[in-house]
Chains A and B, each alone.
Chain A
């Protein structure tokens, strides 16, 4: 079946430009996560949605970062007034169950990521 998809796969932005990154989770998955992965580092948590509710946005680096999932499926991560330090791979992951539950339903499946380069 279809996995998590993300678009665009690559984005080059000029400093100060706004960007929008899209994530299509696996159909029926309740939980959706956004991560930021800098070169040579592991993914760092940005934000978490359970259906349409954004339950945690503590990882968003600044108020220039905004995420939404209005209908509980597709999610968009928006970065306003991009800076060079925003250059990274942005990964989206989804899981079947709410993360408050233990078990295999919590396995997170990652999309291929969007590689953002800010010049």
Chain B
């Protein structure tokens, strides 16, 4: 079983739709959590950190449930420019330092 698992996608949605991505992680010692965005043939870029209290950044809302080891990302009012792969990322202790573990990513395609 992979350490970080995500919805496989792809998600094909019309502009203006609300879409939600889910992610689970297996290491209960994981300390911090992120969503990265990766455009086709580009490097991953940090979209937002995820906190237990839930956090919002414009149209994006991220939530963390430590008890269930579950992370989510909600995108409201989807734009064409939101089309990308969204990577769930978990920061996990490993040998005295922290290591980022990436999910395989969920592809989102927003169409007119």
Chain A residues proximal to chain B, CB less than 8 Å: 33, 35, 40-45, 48, 50, 55-56, 58, 91, 98-100, 102, 106-108, 110-113
Contacts and interface: CB of A to CB of B under 8 A. Distances in A.
Contacts of B59: none
Interface in B57-112: 87, 91, 94-105
Chain B residues touching A, majority SS = strand
Contacts, number: 54
Interface residues of B, number: 22
Nearest to A4: B43
15 contacts: A40-B104, A41-B104, A42-B87, A42-B102, A43-B44, A45-B99, A56-B95, A91-B43, A98-B97, A99-B99, A106-B91, A107-B46, A110-B43, A112-B43, A113-B43
A43 B97 contact: no
Nearest to B95: A56
